[in-house]
Amino acid sequence: MRKRLTRLESYVLAQTLMAVLGALIIISLVVFLIDFVELSRSVGVRADTNFVEIFGLTLLKSPAVILQLLPFVFLFGTLAAFVDMNRRSELIAMRAAGVSAWRFIFPAAGAAFVIGLTTVIALNPLASLSNARFETLRDNMMSNYLAAAPSDIWLRQGDKHSQMVIRARSRDMVGSTVRLNGVSLFISTVNGQGDLEFSRRIEAQEARLIGKDWRLIGAKEATPGAGAVSYDSLVIPSSLDARAALARFAPPTTIAFWSLPNIISRTEQAGFSATAYRLRFQQLLATPLLFAAMSILAAAFSLRLMRLGGLTALAGSGATLGFVFFFFNSFCGALGKSEVIAPFAAAWTPPVLAFLSGFTLLCYTEDG
């Protein structure tokens, strides 16, 4: 079995990767410019910041957005590569010489699949860390502005013996420690019949998550049928750690791939629905197939148009294809989040459909 690419396949693969790199640079610059303008409007006019700080915030935020747009990078990059080679009559010469389109399309699809694996394994965690740093810096810059309009924060933790609901007026970070201010804790225990019974309520000026404990400052505890008891300091065991607690404040798209299984387990253990996290996890697992499907679909689509002489309509058709896929992917994601369909089906249906569409079109174009 042949394991090495021929010189012809290597050439087509190199041309495709160069076009994909060009599409990545263009989309990255557009994303960076939009994020810079948006942060200048939302943060710059409400906080005492300068150009360098806004520029730094943009550098931290943009990677996560760019990763979400990578399917379009492969779509438009592959389209551009095959259009350029068709304009130079290179693909026409290859096919006239009897070279099958399968030979120069699937190496590019394989490279897209490998890049997808790298994106999920390495780039996604880095982008998540960058985005988390962005959220922290932005909150610190806008702390005075946000203080004028606080919103309650809700957490929940528990196990098979008890459940605890935590409400706080605000939160911040003290070093690597999560601190909640204006805290109310509602604690229930599981009775012999498996039902929850309210057992006590604790009010505290602040709560810090240190290790596996909530350390409450200025606490006042009340139990049914008894008076309130005050404490200068009170320690309550926690099933959360700092990473898990911070994840409750962030959307699933900001959580690293490797952290999602643990977040899903802890969320379900605390009694919350983990559907959004499961959907995100499945979407990341489907990323390599999605990248490969975009490459195959773009290549097959461009070949079909070239046979029909559709050079002028190629760019518009590719853009339309991208927007249709974006709408369909968002639609499936909305159905998955609302639990209309399973997260697995919502995440895998768009890439599988794109792959089968490209494969079918390529078969029809190449084999008639």
pLDDT for 135 equals 77
Q: Which one-letter DSSP state was computed for residue 255?
A: S
In a shared domain, residues 176 and 107: no
Q: Where is pLDDT greater, at 60 or 2? A: 60
Whether the pLDDT of residue 146 is over 50: the answer is no
Tokens of 275: 């559907």
Q: Does any domain span residue 167?
A: yes
Buried b (16+ CB within 10 A) or exposed e, 7-28: eebeebbebbbebbeebbeebb
84 assigned to some structural domain: yes
> Is position 315 within any domain?
yes
Question: Tell me, what's the pLDDT at 113?
Answer: 94
State the chain's mean pLDDT as an integer.
80
pLDDT of residue 29: 94
Strand, coil or helix: 174: strand
Mutual angle of helices 343-367 and 101-118, in 10-degree steps: 160
Identify whether 263 is part of a domain.
Answer: no
The answer to whether residues 14 and 92 belong to one domain is yes
pLDDT at 307 over 60: no
Asked whether residue 190 falls in the same domain as residue 66, the answer is: no
Report which of 47, 72, 44 is spatially closest to residue 58, judged by C-alpha positions: 44
Residue 117 is predicted with a pLDDT of 94
Judge whether residue 322 has pLDDT over 80.
no
Answer with the one of 204, 238, 272 that is the final residue of a domain.
Answer: 238
Instruction: Find out whether 177 and 242 touch, Cβ atoms under 8 Å.
Output: yes
Between CA 294 and CA 332 the distance in angstroms is: 17
C-alpha span between 30 and 24 (Å, rounded): 10
Same domain, 182 and 107: no
Torsion (CA) 271, 277, 282, 286 in degrees, nearest 10 = 180
Query: 223 with 334, same domain?
Result: no
Same structural domain, 295 and 360: yes
Identify whether residues 19 and 136 lie together within a single domain: yes
255 within 8 A of 263, measured Cβ to Cβ: yes
Is residue 89 located within the same domain as residue 124?
yes
pLDDT average, residue stretch 344-364: 87
pLDDT-derived band at 149, boundaries 50, 70, 90: very low
Classified as helix, coil or strand, 160 is: coil
pLDDT number for residue 143 = 60
178-236 confidence digits (pLDDT tens): 788 888 888 888 877 777 788 888 888 888 888 778 888 888 888 877 778 888 888 88
Q: What does the pLDDT read at residue 101?
A: 72
Give Cα 270 distance to the centre of its chain. Answer: 23
Question: For residue 152, is it within any domain?
Answer: no
Q: Does 154 fall in a domain?
A: no
Residue 232: how many other CB atoms lie within 10 Å: 8
- Residue 193: give its domain's CATH number: 2.60.450.10
Residue 170 and residue 118 share a domain:
no
Per-residue pLDDT tens digits for 255-293: 888 888 887 887 776 566 778 888 999 999 999 999 999
Q: What is the 3-state secondary structure (H, E, C) of 45-60?
A: CCCCCCHHHHHHHHHH
Residues 182 and 137 occupy one common structural domain: no
Query: Rounded CA gap, 325 and 265, in Å?
Result: 31
Residues in the chain: 368
In whole angstroms, what is the distance from residue 284 CA to residue 120 CA?
A: 6
pLDDT class for 44, splitting at 50, 70, 90?
Answer: low
Domain count, the chain: 2
The fraction of the chain above a pLDDT of 70, given in percent, is 82
Mean pLDDT of 53-82: 88
Domain boundary among 184, 206, 238: 238
Mean pLDDT of 31-49: 81
Question: Which residue, 300, 226, 229, is CA-closest to 75?
Answer: 300
* Residues of the domain holding 164: 160-238
Helix (H, G, I), strand (E, B) or coil at 181: strand
How far from 44 is each of 55, 65, 135, 136, 137, CA to CA, in Å?
A: 11, 20, 15, 16, 13
Q: Is residue 275 part of a domain?
A: no
Specify the pLDDT at position 1.
43
Say if residue 91 is exposed, middle or buried (CB neighbours under 10 Å; 0-12, 13-18, 19+): buried
Max intra-chain CA distance, the chain:
91
Q: What is the pLDDT of residues 334-343, one digit of tens each?
A: 898 888 899 9
pLDDT digits over 84-139, tens only? 887 777 777 777 776 777 777 888 889 999 999 999 999 998 988 888 788 777 77
Are 122 and 71 in a shared domain? yes
Residue 305 maps to a domain: yes
- Alpha helices by DSSP H, listed for the chain, are 7-39, 51-68, 70-87, 90-96, 101-118, 124-141, 143-146, 242-247, 260-269, 275-285, 287-307, 311-337, 343-367
Measured between alpha carbons, how far is residue 27 from residues 21, 30, 127 in Å? Answer: 10, 5, 16
238, 271, 298 — which closes off a domain?
Answer: 238
Residues 130 and 167 in one domain: no
In the structure encoding, which two tokens stand for residue 135, read together? 């959220």
